Structure 1
């Protein structure tokens, strides 16, 4: 049994270790033994908090998806224009390429949201591993659905705000949000599959051009 008062840190260490393990070894290669090794604890500690591999996978997936919402919410300010809010959103859900392989995965809020981080290549690999598994796993599908429905509502609210403030012209904010998020998901898969745009640029510009249609930029 873990030491008293260590539960939040132990849980965070195990989730971070699980994401690291999945990124490096894939879903099939992730085991409780390997997670314990990466977390620096015993397999018994892992099993104490997460009863089996399926339970741990679901909780790690929730933390992976929640990471993006938390980072976005922490950076959006009421004084921003709707356009700036969308820029913050896109920066996190489809980040620019970065050389950050030396940094470690951390999706824990214990040390503050500003300390949370997932390296660029780990994001791509985790996206592929989790969503490939979710195709056949109803429990993971539910996690995706709940997370993306919340994302759609958040993006639609930004479009509604842009309309209200005269900063955007969006006929149907729900459809506009759906289109943007669907575009992000598709472009994320293209990144993982190494399918660049025709001229080789970072494909995130496609989303930026989509938003420009509503802002007139």
Structure 2
């Protein structure tokens, strides 16, 4: 059993270690022993919190998806325009290409949201691993469904705000949010599959063009 007072940190360390392990070895190659090694703890600590591999995968997936929402919420300000809010959202759910492999995965809020980070390459690997596993796993499907429904609701609220403030012209905010998120998911799969973007541009411009058409003037 972990020392008293160390529970939140140990739990966070295990989740971070799980994501690192999955990004390097895949879900099938991830074992509780490897996770314990990456977390610098005993296998007993891992099973104390998460019981087994299946539970650990679900909790790691939840933390992976929650990471994006937390980063977005921390950066969106009430003084922003609707377009700026969407820019912040896209920056995190479809981040620009970057070479940040030297940085370490950290999805823990314990040290502050500003220190949470997932390198670009690891995001792609984790996206592929989790979503391919979710195709046949009902529990993971439920995690995806809950996360995407929250994303849709959040994006639709930004579009509603854009309409109300006169910054946008959106006939149906829910449909517009659905379309934007569908683009993000599709482009994410294109990235993972190494399908090169048109004209050597970052494929984020497709989403940006879509949003641009909703802005008045």
Superposed pair shares fold, TM > 0.5: yes
Residue of structure 2 equivalent to 1:66: 66
Output the aligned Cα RMSD: 0.7
Residue of structure 2 equivalent to 1:108: 108
Displacement after TM superposition at 1:208 (Å) = 0.3
Deviations 1:113-149 (A, max 9, x none): 0000000000000000000000000000000000000
Which structure 1 segments of 5+ residues have no match? none
Structure 2 residue 174 is the aligned partner of structure 1 residue 171: no
Which structure 2 segments of 5+ residues have no match? none
Residue of structure 1 equivalent to 2:198: 198
Residue of structure 1 equivalent to 2:11: 11
Displacement after TM superposition at 1:196 (Å) = 1.7
Residue of structure 2 equivalent to 1:183: 183
- Alpha-carbon distance in 2 for matches of 1:51, 1:11: 12
Which runs of structure 2 are paired with 1:59-98 in the superposition (5 Å)?
A: 59-98=59-98
- Alpha-carbon distance in 1 for matches of 2:103, 2:197: 28
Structure 2 residue 156 is the aligned partner of structure 1 residue 149: no
Give aligned pairs, total.
217
Displacement after TM superposition at 1:216 (Å) = 4.0
Deviations 1:165-213 (A, max 9, x none): 0000000000000000010000000001111222121111100000001
Structure 1-normalised TM-score? 0.99
Deviations 1:16-39 (A, max 9, x none): 000000000001000000000000
Counterpart of 2:169 in 1: which secondary structure? coil
Structure 2-normalised TM-score? 0.99
Residue of structure 1 equivalent to 2:51: 51
Counterpart of 1:3 in 2: which secondary structure? coil
Q: Which runs of 4+ in 1 moved over 6 A?
A: none
Q: Which moved more, 1:189-198 or 1:72-81?
A: 189-198
Residue of structure 2 equivalent to 1:22: 22
